[in-house]
């Protein structure tokens, strides 16, 4: 999810996040200098707490210079202001990254020990905490560590597992601090995660069913999977999601308002209840273009003649949204069995869309998809075939510049 656009976003926006970096006494403590320097260059506010042991490996002066701020080590150091420092630091942090995180610090936090500045701040913090594990391979393999990690995970602490490689203790194995860029990427992904908070997104999904008689209907093979995958990821990114779904067998998504409908007319009605209040629409539903003019009250009986059912046009919900568009970002889908791009361009224009996502009808009801994202200037981006969850992520990341 990380790309260079994000770093620009962080530097230029109001989102100057506060990252508190805890440095403990593993040999890879020297790598924290690189992490601090890179995060600082990206525009984050950085404060550093070192344990006493860490100061044996890298000098506070080095980290202080890179962080452009005083490094905190001692709980009882005299200061010019009267803040309770461990509390104010805990409150200041939007995220705490402990890198390297030794066997010792993980053990202390897991067992409620707060006997120095870093362990005290972590224990008082409400911010998300990431431990980037680094230690000797035998310590790494000690089951006590894994008990502590799993206990902490249950309390919501996050871990950046170590890599395998040549270790300072002259052996090869697991315990090496993860590459600095990967650690930074995980931190940035965390911040990026809620990038859609405050946005309201309306999504239509699934098929519609247009009744002919009490037991028969006109419909199509759409599974709803693509729309539900978009809904799920948009929710994960912090958006408020309203999902208007035709019949499908997808599981409900926790935290999403899901409105179930059967017919195109019902979908149309529900969409326009919400449309004027949303920022973005993904029209993913495979809406039936026609419905029976008259629905037979009783089961239609066969006879020797051919059966003719008169069909009338359903409203084109997306076309109507395009007509009434104010500030909404309007994204349509387009399923074609031939002339994919040509037809997609026509629908993009006709329905007044900001983006159209073109896919081949062979992916209907499949778990996979292969799509082309087309913007309103007709720039195309092709995505390789992947499962629908992956495609949903790629589409949203592209559309929202994540
Ligand atoms: N759509 C809609 N209401 C309809 C038909 C389609 O909102 N009655 C939306 C779909 O959700 C999709 C887009 O319009 O986002 C294109 O749908 P598609 O079925 O590919 O095309 P149609 O416009 O129905 O055109 P055709 O069936 O002729 O290909």
Q: Does domain 7-191 have CATH number 3.40.50.1370?
A: no
- C-alpha span between 105 and 43 (Å, rounded): 28
Q: What are the tens digits of pLDDT across the range 100-133?
A: 999 999 999 999 999 999 999 999 999 999 999 9
Tokens of 242: 């309203």
Calculate what percentage of the chain has a pLDDT beyond 70. 93
Annotated binding-site residue? 299: yes
In the chain, % of residues over pLDDT 90: 79
Q: In the structure, which protein residues have their CB atom closer than 6 angstroms to any atom of ligand 1?
A: 204, 264, 283, 285-287, 289, 314, 316-318, 332-335, 347
Lowest mean per-residue pLDDT among 57-61, 62-66, 166-170, 298-302:
166-170
196 labelled ligand-binding: no
Beta bridge partners of 129: 96
Sort strands 210-213 and 216-218 into parallel, antiparallel or unpaired.
antiparallel
pTM comes to 0.64
CATH superfamily of 200-399: CoaB-like (3.40.50.10300)
Question: Do the first three CATH levels of 7-191 and 200-399 match, i.e. the same topology?
Answer: yes
Residue 232 and residue 215: Cα distance in Å, rounded?
Answer: 32
pLDDT tens digits along 236-270: 888 999 999 999 999 998 889 899 999 999 999 99
Interatomic CA distance for residues 106 and 271, integer angstroms: 50
pLDDT of residue 35: 97
Tell me if residue 334 is catalytic.
no
Question: From atom 9 of ligand 1, which residue's Cα is the shortest distance away?
Answer: 318
Residue of 332, 359, 360, 362 to mutate, ligand 1, most atoms within 8 A of C-beta? 332
Using most ligand atoms within 8 A of CB, pick from 287, 315, 323, 335 the residue to mutate for ligand 1: 287
280 within 8 A of 331, measured Cβ to Cβ: yes
Confidence (pLDDT) at 190: 84
Q: Where are the domains of the chain?
A: 7-191, 200-399
Q: How far apart are CA 327 and CA 275, in angstroms?
A: 11
14 has binding-site annotation: no
| DSSP for 366-394, written as a single string | -SEE-EEEEETT--EEE---EEHHHHHHH
Q: Which of 138-142, 222-226, 274-278, 366-370 has the lowest mean pLDDT?
A: 366-370
Q: Strands, DSSP E only, in 105-229?
A: 129-133, 158-160, 163-166, 172-176, 200-205, 210-213, 216-218
Cα–Cα nearest to 96, from 133, 129, 48, 69: 129
């Amino acid at each position: 999810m990380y790309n260079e656009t994000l770093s620009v976003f962080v530097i230029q926006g109001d989102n100057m996040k506060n990252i508190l970096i805890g440095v403990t006494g593993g040999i890879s403590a020297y790598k924290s200098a690189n992490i601090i320097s890179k995060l600082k260059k990206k525009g984050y506010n950085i404060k550093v707490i070192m344990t006493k042991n860490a100061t044996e490996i890298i000098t506070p002066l080095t980290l202080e210079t890179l962080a452009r701020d005083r490094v905190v080590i001692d709980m009882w150091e005299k200061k010019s202001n009267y803040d309770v420092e461990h509390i104010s630091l805990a409150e200041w942090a939007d995220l705490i990254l402990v890198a390297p995180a030794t066997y010792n610090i993980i053990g202390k936090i897991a067992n409620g020990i707060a006997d120095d500045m870093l362990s005290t701040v972590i224990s008082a913090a409400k911010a998300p905490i990431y431990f980037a594990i680094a230690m000797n391979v035998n310590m790494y393999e000690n089951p006590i560590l894994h008990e502590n990690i799993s206990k902490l995970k249950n309390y919501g602490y996050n871990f950046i597992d170590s890599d395998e490689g040549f270790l300072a203790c002259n052996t090869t194995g697991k315990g090496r601090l993860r590459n600095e860029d990967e650690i930074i990427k995980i931190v940035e992904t965390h911040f990026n995660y809620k990038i859609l908070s405050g946005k309201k997104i309306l999504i239509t999904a699934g098929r519609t069913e247009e009744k002919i008689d009490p037991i028969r209907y006109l419909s199509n093979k759409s599974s709803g999977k693509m729309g539900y995958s978009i809904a799920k990821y948009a929710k994960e990114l912090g958006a408020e999601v309203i999902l208007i779904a035709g019949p499908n067998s997808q599981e409900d998504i926790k935290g999403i308002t899901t409105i179930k409908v059967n017919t195109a007319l019902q979908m149309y009605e529900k969409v326009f209840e919400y449309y004027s209040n949303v920022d973005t629409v993904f029209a993913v539903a495979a809406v039936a273009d026609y419905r029976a003019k008259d629905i037979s009250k009783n089961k239609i009986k066969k006879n020797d003649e051919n059966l003719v059912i008169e069909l009338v046009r359903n409203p084109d919900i997306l076309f109507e949204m395009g007509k009434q568009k104010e500030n909404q970002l309007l994204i349509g889908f387009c399923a074609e069995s031939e002339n994919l791009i040509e037809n997609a361009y026509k629908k993009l224009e006709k329905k007044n869309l900001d983006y159209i996502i073109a896919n081949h009808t062979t992916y209907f009801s499949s778990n996979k998809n292969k799509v082309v994202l087309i913007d309103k200037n007709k720039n195309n981006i092709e995505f390789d075939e992947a499962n629908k969850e992956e495609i949903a992520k790629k589409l949203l990341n592209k559309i929202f510049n994540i």
